[in-house]
Structure 1
Amino acid sequence: MDTRTILITGATQGLGRGIALDLAARGHTLLLHGRDRGRLDAVVAEARVLGPVVRGYLADLADLDQVRALAARVRAAEPRLDALVNNAVAGGGAEPLRRELSAQGHELRFAVNHLAPYALVRGLLPLLTASAPARVVNVASIGQEEIDFDDVMLERGYEGLRAYCRSKLAMIMATFELAAALDGTGVTVNTLHPAHLMDTEGVRSYGLTPAVGVEEGVRPTVRLLVDPDLEGTTGRYFDRFTDTRAHDQAYDTGARARLMALTHRLLELPGLP
Structure 2
Amino acid sequence: MDSLRKSRVVLLVVLLAPSIQAQGRRPPSYGQLDQDSGGYNYDKPMVQLELPTTPKAKETSTTETPAPYPPTTQAPDPPPTDTPSTDAPDPPPTDPPTTEALDPPPTEPPPPPPTVFPPRTSICVLMTAAGMMTSEISGGVFITQEIKGGPVVLSGTIQGLDPGLHAFHLHRDAAVGGDCAAAGPHFNPFNSTHGGPMDLKRHAGDFGNIEANELGVAFVSIVAPGLMLAVETGGSLGVIGRSLVIHEKPDDLGLGGDDESLTTGNTGARLACCVIKNLANATSP
TM-score range, shorter chain: under 0.3
Question: Which one has a larger percent strand, Structure 1 or Structure 2?
Answer: 2
Query: Which structure: larger Rg?
Result: 2
Normalising by the residue count of structure 2, what TM-score does the alignment of the two structures yield? 0.21
Normalising by the residue count of structure 1, what TM-score does the alignment of the two structures yield? 0.22
